[in-house]
Structure 1
Amino acid sequence: MRKRTSTAALGTVLVLGGIAAGAAPAQAATSGAALTGTAPACVHRSVSNDPGGGVSGYLRNTCGKTMRVKVVVKYWRDTSCMTIRNNTSKYVHTVGGRYDRTVTC
């Protein structure tokens, strides 16, 4: 029984290692600060894909503290890392690409 548990734990480590290895090239392709994870829900996103390509909208911080976030854009350069003070908004806009996600940085 103990051997099975060890094998299962090893399998989990290998799977996680594969995910981490697969994620590295995508993160390396982004410019600037390293991505640290999806931004929390208190950073409200009102971002849409423009019909001709590009992303535009607002990010609003209601987290109770200053947050540093960036918008990850598919098929285009990500936005820079932005500092958004509590209870303020920032406008984001790109000329090309599609909205992917908002992350902390």
Structure 2
Amino acid sequence: MRMTGHLTRTAVVLTALGGALTVTAPAANAAPAAIGDTAPACISRPVYSTPNGFDVFLTNKCGGTRAVKVIVDSGGDSPCYVMGNNTSVTFSYEGIFGNYGKTVMCA
């Protein structure tokens, strides 16, 4: 009989833990960030140096459409790119003073 009580307590604890685990959502399904906020991690953005500046290879793996732009410190920013899920775009900056700043949400 003691085993039944132990199994019941274990089932209750596991149910409580399982309920807590199902509440958390992965970052890819999180609500979109506000305009001007740094783009979420599901927007990949490796930066590659080029002889005349740099390229930023943007890829959307967020599970939905996102609009992002590249901020260039001491240079002109990219346009706002509206990207569907699993799409990519390359922003190329050419100039001597500009540096990659960050990638932000836009409209």
User: Structure 1 length as normaliser, TM-score?
Assistant: 0.61
Alignment of 1:51-62 (within 5 A): 51-52=51-52, 54-62=53-61
Alignment coverage as a number of residue pairs: 70
Structure 1 alignment gaps of length 5 or more:
1-34
Alignment of 1:79-94 (within 5 A): 79-94=78-93
Corresponding letter in the other structure for 1:44: S
Q: Which has the larger radius of gyration?
A: 2
Distance 2:88 2:40 in 1: 15
In the other structure, the counterpart of 2:76 is: 77
In the other structure, the counterpart of 1:10 is: none
Report the RMSD for the aligned CA atoms in angstroms.
1.4
Identity %: 43
| Contact 1:47/1:59 (8 A) holds in 2 | no
Alignment of 1:26-105 (within 5 A): 35-52=35-52, 54-96=53-95, 97-105=98-106
SS of 1:38 mapped into structure 2: coil
Distance 1:74 1:98 in 2: 5
Q: How far has the Cα of 1:51 moved from its partner?
A: 4.7
